[in-house]
Amino acid sequence: MTDDTAGHWISRTVLADAATITVCTGASVAQVLDGFGAHHIPEPIDRILDSPHAVSWVRVRDLGGGIVLACEDNDFQGSTEPVLRHVSTGGRAASEYWNAGGMHCLSFAEHGTVLSATLDYAWTPILTNSAAVNSAIAGLDFLTAGTGAALTAIGRFTGHHLQPEQMHALLDTDQAHRMTPA
């Protein structure tokens, strides 16, 4: 696998059409849940989906070493500035959002400051003054590799390259955290 195609396995998961993946460093699960405005007690996903009102939810997993993975099926809170600021206060956070309509957003934050958030990065250059972000995106072919390139950039920026088994372990659980509407 080339560096920018390392994340192509994501297209073979339930997340293929739409999701947001956020990797946070220097964070606890509780801090990440607070950043998402999510309940600390998980619920069965079926119960959340059966709710009479539209509800957003997030799955989270402590990957060890102060690294937390957050995943939203078909939602995008992890790509928003307020969430990124909160979940990066103790280190770094990076997220990739995509949907079935071809929209993509790649975002980077460090110590509570959003360094870059680029919509439709395949067509719009990622412009930033951050050397860390520039290093993370250097040489990646976003137009061809898309989400694979974005996951590589997230790994470079956070120092944690997401592995298929980590995502599968998160997706295999039937528990998620309900987010409180803002």
Give the best-scoring range by mean pLDDT among 42-51, 53-62, 107-116: 107-116
Q: Please give the pLDDT value at position 1.
A: 40
Q: In angstroms, rounded to a whole number, what is the distance separating the alpha carbons of residues 85 and 162?
A: 21
Portion of the chain with pLDDT greater than 90, in percent: 54
Name 175's Cβ contacts closer than 8 Å, sequence gap at least 6. 42, 43, 44, 45, 59
Q: Please give the pLDDT value at position 148.
A: 80
**Where in the chain are the domains?**
3-178
Q: Is the pLDDT of residue 16 over 80?
A: no
Q: What is the pTM of this model?
A: 0.90
Q: Please give the pLDDT value at position 11.
A: 62
Q: In angstroms, rounded to a whole number, what is the distance separating the alpha carbons of residues 154 and 144?
A: 17
Q: In angstroms, rounded to a whole number, what is the distance separating the alpha carbons of residues 79 and 81?
A: 7
> pLDDT for 84-109, tens place per residue?
999 999 999 999 998 888 788 899 99
Q: Please give the pLDDT value at position 13.
A: 63
Q: What is the mean pLDDT of the chain?
A: 87
Number of H helices, E strands in the chain: 7, 8
Q: Is the pLDDT of residue 3 over 60?
A: no
How many Cβ atoms from other residues are within 10 Å of residue 139's Cβ?
Answer: 9
